[in-house]
Amino acid sequence: METVMEEKRRVGEAAAAYIEEGMTVGLGTGSTVYFTIHKLAQLIKEKGLVVQTVSTSKQTTTLATSLGILVRDLNEVAHVDLTIDGCDEFDSALCGIKGGGGALLFEKIVAKASDKNIWVGDSSKAVSQLGEFPLPVEVLPFGFKHTLKKFQEAELNPVLRLTSDGKTYYTDSGNFIVDLHLKKINDPKALSSWLNAIPGVIENGLFIDVADKVIFIKDNIVKEVNR
Ligand SMILES: O=C(CO)[C@H](O)[C@H](O)COP(=O)(O)O
């Protein structure tokens, strides 16, 4: 039985095979795409692969630049050919929950600017129904208690995200994350629209019709599923 980290390494590296010469590549955030970024750096150094990238978080920008990968501002590129990112859950329609690492807003902007999106996930990520993983929602700090009240009234079990040392968690844009403990999401599209219609909500972690392919592990084997 391999460790989760080993699974993340296998799928993360497998995704790098889809990066082609001259591409503009969106780099996701998290512990799985970490391995994609390392593999990409290796391909650049050892095979002379020429690419430019855009990043979905400060964390990813720091990692990629430290490995010698060219990271451009999203506004400086005309379009993104391919984005490789992690996910917290995905279902058989390749709808997913993202934002466990707090980067959902930039991840969604980069994903929507991309011609193609590939997600990478260890064996825990495939689910029959979304919702066991708490759904992250990025919320504006201004008046956030009133936004939280809307979630409470709708019985969405909101929890304001804190850092591991108990401080308020801030996203790269200076917003809060509220995690909705739902257990089951029956209609992801309807929930996503409802959430985004609340004025204090910046974006939610439901990614619908985004992933074109998911590379994941099942029974110790790397598998791919396409939308
Ligand atoms: O959405 C994300 C960050 O906002 C990540 O892609 C997601 O949380 C998966 O992370 P990991 O690869 O570490 O399991």
pLDDT tens column, 119-156: 999 999 999 999 999 999 999 999 999 999 999 999 99
CA distance 102 to 93: 23
Q: What rounded mean pLDDT belongs to the chain?
A: 97
- Nearest atom in ligand 1 to the alpha carbon of residue 32 is 12
Residue 219, token pair as written in the block: 């029974």
Tens of pLDDT, residues 164-211? 999 999 999 999 999 999 999 999 999 999 999 999 999 999 999 999
Q: Is residue 138 within 8 Å of residue 177, measured between CB atoms?
A: yes
Residue closest by Cα to atom 6 of ligand 1: 86
Active-site pick, 7, 89, 107, 138: 107
pTM of the model: 0.97
Residue 48 has pLDDT above 70, yes or no: yes
Query: Is 107 labeled as catalytic in the residue annotation?
Result: yes
Residue 1 has pLDDT above 70, yes or no: no
> Domains along the chain?
4-127+208-226 (3.40.50.1360), 135-204 (3.30.70.260)
Residue 212, token pair as written in the block: 């074109």
Closest residue by Cα to residue 35 from 13, 51, 55: 13
pLDDT band at 2 (very low <50, low <70, confident <90, very high): confident
ipTM here: 0.98
pLDDT of amino acid 46 = 97
User: For 220, which DSSP code?
Assistant: T
